[in-house]
Structure 1
Amino acid sequence: MISKETIFMYTASAIVVLFTVVYLYYKNIYSYWKKLGVYHLEPTFFFGNAKDRVLFKKSFHEFHRDLYFKFKGHRYAGYYLGRRASLVILDPDIIKCIMIKDFNHFTDRQTMKFRTSEYISEMLINLKGSKWKRMRGQLTPAFTSGKLRTMEHLVDICCNNMSDFLNENIKNEQGYELEMKDFFGKFTLDVIATCAFGVESNSLKDENGGFASRVSKFASLSIMKRLSLYIVLLFMPGIARFVPLSFFNMEVIHFLANVIKEAKKFRQSTGQKRNDFLQLLLDSETDLDKNDKNKSKDDALTEAQVVAQSVLFLIAGFETSSTLLTFTCYELAINQTIQVKLREEICSVLKRYNGKCSYEAMQEMPLLDMVLMETLRMHPPVAQLERVSTQDYTLPDSNLLLKKGMTVQIPVIGLHYDPEYYPDPYKFEPNRFSPDEKAKRSHYVFLPFGTGPRNCIGLRFALMSTKRGMVHLLKDFSINLSSQMTVPYEYSKHSMLLKAKDGIRLSFNKLSE
């Protein structure tokens, strides 16, 4: 019979051996950048350089901004997310090569292949190689200038509904106070619903905020699910394909999938056709293209692909536009002088066009463009971009060989706050985006929507709807800080997206006639 002492000795020895093996394994991994002679920060065991992010000590945006300035002075630097090595690119010229000049070496984004819904895996953002290229080509016609112009009157209807809502709720000189992300989330969903899917909606009239409320939770995950994601991402990426996890709230994804299926079913049963995003997808679906000899089998879309792109358009459009509107109003509420100047520009242009917010009128509002660009600089929707090398690649003007499969990161928020490119970066200064000022700096230090062939496909739609929304608001209302609003706001530490911890609370007042 084996004694307790012997069992203890063997157990202790096994634990020591296990920890030794794990330690040596991580020590070898964490020597990757040192062996290549690449500047890097000393990693922490298990966490790499991401401890503050994983333990929610910093928000996603704060973390990547701070990381950028720790690497400042280097063209690129090594970084460890758990045990995964990545290269952070700081040099605008190298960024240009990766995103545009040598794009064929970096066509893919970093994705985790969790065992999840095909609606997630078939989304454009998760596709790679030729499959991504084919899908991108099929979706691009939905966002041409001609298509956007046909949507303008639909956006204006939603803008009028938004103005009517404010007019009905502003009862006195104290104005009407709102949480902006919730308010603009409802407006944005109405715009997308009518422009992309032909569904009339007035979320602002929905007192329960049902649809908008559910969509806004698309990225809301419990702390346990977030920790589970990080554990798999950092320590066990190899088992991801067997784990039913997702960066999206799957209840919301399936809810939206059912909404899209119902819209699709209605059109097919009634024979109704519209000149919109959903119709573009339906016309590419297998059963509708079976008699089209000009299209190959690969050109046709499955129902899962139609639903996946529709859901992506809903949630991406919702997040991008509502966030931009929220923080534009926030900055204008703080910077009242700029708000007054912008209102004067808008009213002056509208007067020349008999009060109509026409396409031509929108082209004559340069300050509006500059205000939106400066908002995107200070409050970019995403903190960083990632690309994966699809083949071995030697970094320009260096001897550093990036192996196939290496992830490179573009620190968007760091570039946006670098005083080398934007003096006094914490000051809201729209004039930075005047033609003369833009000409003084690289195009690749301003990347709110990415750049190159894999940039945000819906950025023109987002800007068009945002600009029209701001015009309707500023011509009729003044925007002010709520007494409950703390400036500057505090980032939410539990969100990968740009989000204020306590929301953005502002108030609207009617302008005197």
Structure 2
Amino acid sequence: MISRDTIMVYVVSAIVFLSIVVYLYYRNIYSFWRKMGVFNIEPEFFFGNAKDRVLFRKSFHEFHRDIYFKFKGHRYAGFYVGRRASLVILDPEIIKCIMIKDFNHFTDRQTMRLRTSKYITEMLINLKGSKWKKMRSQLTPSFTSGKLRTMEHLIDICCNNMSDFLNDNIKSGNCKVFFLHFINNFITFTMFILFSENGFKPYELEMKDFFGKFTLDVIATCAFGVESNSLTDVTGGFASRVSKFATLSITKRLSLYIIILFLPGLARFVPLSFFNMKVIYFLANVIKEAKSYRMSTGQKRNDFLQLLLDSESNPDNKNENKQNEDSLTEPQIVAQSVLFLIAGFETSSTLLTFTCYELAINQEIQIKLREEICSILDRYNGKCTYEAMQEMTFLDMVLGETLRMHPPVAQLERVCTQDYMIPDSNLILQKGTAVQIPVIGLHYDPEYYPDPYKFDPNRFSAEEKASRHHYVYLPFGTGPRNCIGLRFALMSTKRGMVHLLKNFSIELSNRTTVPYIYSKHSMFLKAQNGIWLSFNKLNTS
């Protein structure tokens, strides 16, 4: 019979042996970039270079901004997320090659092959190669200039609902605003003290929640023909549920990180997702109900959902030769619809939120923008026409600067699909290697944007843009895999801002945090305590 001491010796020996094997394994992995002759920061065991992010010490945006400046001075640098090696690209010329010139070598995004619903795996952002190309070509007709112009009146209905909501909640009375400036520890602060002739205060709102509801109404109306007024729904309803699409429990979040960092080979066997699947299935049911209603009533609309339905395959057709090779299945239709809802909701609401945040801080810019809007609307009899919007160049500049300082995504990823030699170097990337483009770092690089923490819309004048490298501004990506809904997002955002600024002033409130603190638990751009601002009616008499 084996003694207890002997068993302990075997156990300890096995642990030591396994520890040595694991150590040597990681040591070999972490020598990858050094062997390739690529500059890199010494990785930490298990975490690679991502420890601060994995342990939630930094937000996603702060982490990638700091990584950029650690690598500044190099055209590219090696990086490790757990045991996965990727190449961080800092040189705008190389970025141009990857995203445009040599796109055929980088057609795919980095994705995790988790065992999850087809509503996730069939989303455009998760498709690769020919499947992505085919789906992209089918969706693109939804976002032409002609299609977008047919949606203008629908967006204006949502904008009017937003204005009515604010009018109903702001007490009457002319607000007087006094500005007090003081300096403390070399930092200039602006305090807004508001008085009303009738003693009423402006209406205070959390911006991401407010604009999330507005944006969702726009998408529901324009893309799916579903009339919605989430702002008047006291329960939060539809918008409240959709806003939780990325909310995961701590257990699921940790499980995802463990799989990504240490066990990526097991991803395909693990029933996990980066999305809150309750929200995904809820949205899937909404889409199916809208589809069923149109099928039963014969109703057709000139919108995103109809484009997908017109491409749907007929499951009752037994003759496969008669099936259109471009036809879509129901899971594909639902997947693109859910993606459009989620991506549009997140991107547009974030842009509106931080535009108002910057305008509340920079009142002189808000006044200048309002003067442009009102002046142009006067020439068009107060109507927010397509032509009027095209003339609002300062509005474009303000939105451009907001997207520079507050990009919805911190970095872009692509995967090398063919062996590729980095231009003007001897470095050959092997097929399957991931590359990262640190958008937030480029946007805050003083080499391209002097005094980068200052909100300055003049950076986006025609002259300034022409003098700057095109590939140091990437809020929506660029090239064939850029954000497909970019034009729709900007159109709805611009019309929303016009309706707000012509009727209301945007001001800081007692709950506004300046500067705001990034949320460390979100991959998207979010403020830890929200963005609280106040709206007040303008005296138009």
TM-score bucket of the superposed structures, by smaller chain = over 0.9
Is 2:69 the counterpart of 1:42? no
User: Residue type matched to 1:31 in 2?
Assistant: S
Question: Is the contact made by 2:244 and 2:276 (CA closer than 8 Å) also made in structure 1?
Answer: yes
Structure 1 residue 347 displacement after superposition:
0.1
Is 2:117 the counterpart of 1:117? yes
CA distance in 1 between counterparts of 2:328 and 2:275 reads 23
Match of 1:350 in 2: 377
Question: Is the contact made by 1:289 and 1:300 (CA closer than 8 Å) also made in structure 2?
Answer: no
Structure 1 unmatched runs, 5+: none
The match for 2:499 among 457, 468, 472 is: 472
CA distance in 1 between counterparts of 2:251 and 2:96 reads 38
Match of 1:239 in 2: 266
The match for 1:429 among 450, 453, 456 is: 456
Is 2:209 the counterpart of 1:182? yes
CA distance in 2 between counterparts of 1:424 and 1:289 reads 62
Is 2:85 the counterpart of 1:76? no
The 5-angstrom pairing of residues 270-289 of structure 1 reads: 270-287=297-314
Give the SS at the match of 1:509. strand
Question: Is the contact made by 1:282 and 1:288 (CA closer than 8 Å) also made in structure 2?
Answer: no
Structure 1 residue 484 displacement after superposition:
1.1
CA distance in 2 between counterparts of 1:12 and 1:289 reads 63
Structure 1 residue 291 displacement after superposition:
12
Give the SS at the match of 1:38. coil
Match of 2:413 in 1: 386
Consecutive aligned runs of 4 or more in structure 1 exceeding 2 Å deviation: 288-298
CA distance in 2 between counterparts of 1:433 and 1:285 reads 42
CA distance in 2 between counterparts of 1:71 and 1:242 reads 36
Can you list the C-alpha shifts for 1:261-318, whole angstroms capped at 9, x where unaligned?
0000000011100000000000000029969999964300000000000000000000
Match of 1:407 in 2: 434
Give the SS at the match of 1:119. helix
The 5-angstrom pairing of residues 224-303 of structure 1 reads: 224-287=251-314, 297-303=324-330
CA distance in 1 between counterparts of 2:496 and 2:41 reads 44
How many pairs were matched up?
Answer: 513
CA distance in 1 between counterparts of 2:334 and 2:446 reads 43
Match of 2:165 in 1: 165
Match of 1:100 in 2: 100
CA distance in 2 between counterparts of 1:375 and 1:88 reads 24
The match for 2:469 among 442, 449, 473 is: 442
Q: 1:104 to 1:295 in 2, by over 3 A?
A: farther
User: Residue type matched to 1:201 in 2?
Assistant: S
Give the SS at the match of 1:326. helix
The match for 1:203 among 208, 226, 230 is: 230
CA distance in 2 between counterparts of 1:365 and 1:509 reads 23
Match of 1:483 in 2: 510
Match of 2:181 in 1: none
User: Residue type matched to 2:389 in 1?
Assistant: M
TM-score normalised by L of structure 2: 0.94
CA distance in 2 between counterparts of 1:19 and 1:237 reads 20
Structure 1 residue 210 displacement after superposition:
1.2
Q: Which moved more, 1:68-77 or 1:292-301?
A: 292-301
CA distance in 1 between counterparts of 2:348 and 2:321 reads 37
The 5-angstrom pairing of residues 288-367 of structure 1 reads: 297-367=324-394
Give the SS at the match of 2:450. coil
User: Residue type matched to 1:261 in 2?
Assistant: K
Match of 2:533 in 1: 506
Q: Which moved more, 1:169-178 or 1:13-22?
A: 169-178
Question: Is the contact made by 1:107 and 1:128 (CA closer than 8 Å) also made in structure 2?
Answer: yes
CA distance in 2 between counterparts of 1:412 and 1:291 reads 49
Question: Is the contact made by 1:289 and 1:295 (CA closer than 8 Å) also made in structure 2?
Answer: no
Question: Is the contact made by 2:78 and 2:88 (CA closer than 8 Å) also made in structure 1?
Answer: yes
The 5-angstrom pairing of residues 10-49 of structure 1 reads: 10-49=10-49
CA distance in 2 between counterparts of 1:209 and 1:46 reads 42
CA distance in 1 between counterparts of 2:321 and 2:258 reads 48
Match of 1:154 in 2: 154
Structure 1 residue 443 displacement after superposition:
0.7
Can you list the C-alpha shifts for 1:223-253, whole angstroms capped at 9, x where unaligned?
2211110100000000000101111000000
Question: Is the contact made by 1:450 and 1:456 (CA closer than 8 Å) also made in structure 2?
Answer: yes
Question: Is the contact made by 2:245 and 2:279 (CA closer than 8 Å) also made in structure 1?
Answer: yes
User: Residue type matched to 1:73 in 2?
Assistant: G
Match of 1:140 in 2: 140
CA distance in 2 between counterparts of 1:159 and 1:137 reads 31
Give the SS at the match of 1:486. coil
CA distance in 2 between counterparts of 1:292 and 1:367 reads 57
Give the SS at the match of 1:480. strand
Question: Is the contact made by 1:283 and 1:289 (CA closer than 8 Å) also made in structure 2?
Answer: no
Give the SS at the match of 1:286. coil
CA distance in 1 between counterparts of 2:427 and 2:529 reads 44
Structure 1 residue 440 displacement after superposition:
1.1
Give the SS at the match of 2:325. helix
Question: Is the contact made by 2:448 and 2:472 (CA closer than 8 Å) also made in structure 1?
Answer: yes
Match of 2:522 in 1: 495
Pairwise CA RMSD = 1.4
User: Residue type matched to 2:468 in 1?
Assistant: R
CA distance in 2 between counterparts of 1:307 and 1:9 reads 57
TM-score normalised by L of structure 1: 0.99
User: Residue type matched to 2:21 in 1?
Assistant: V
CA distance in 2 between counterparts of 1:314 and 1:86 reads 30
Can you list the C-alpha shifts for 1:362-386, whole angstroms capped at 9, x where unaligned?
0110000000000000000000000
Give the SS at the match of 1:299. coil
Question: Is the contact made by 2:208 and 2:349 (CA closer than 8 Å) also made in structure 1?
Answer: yes
User: Residue type matched to 1:22 in 2?
Assistant: V
Q: 1:321 to 1:288 in 2, by over 3 A?
A: farther
User: Residue type matched to 2:113 in 1?
Assistant: K
Match of 2:241 in 1: 214
Can you list the C-alpha shifts for 1:78-127, whole angstroms capped at 9, x where unaligned?
00000000000000000000000000000000000100000000000000
CA distance in 2 between counterparts of 1:430 and 1:295 reads 55
CA distance in 1 between counterparts of 2:140 and 2:489 reads 14
Question: Is the contact made by 2:317 and 2:323 (CA closer than 8 Å) also made in structure 1?
Answer: no
Structure 1 residue 222 displacement after superposition:
1.3
Structure 1 residue 72 displacement after superposition:
0.1
Q: 1:450 to 1:441 in 2, by over 3 A?
A: same
Of all paired residues, the percent bearing the same amino acid is 81
Q: Which moved more, 1:126-135 or 1:223-232?
A: 223-232
Question: Is the contact made by 2:314 and 2:323 (CA closer than 8 Å) also made in structure 1?
Answer: no
Match of 2:425 in 1: 398
CA distance in 1 between counterparts of 2:294 and 2:532 reads 40
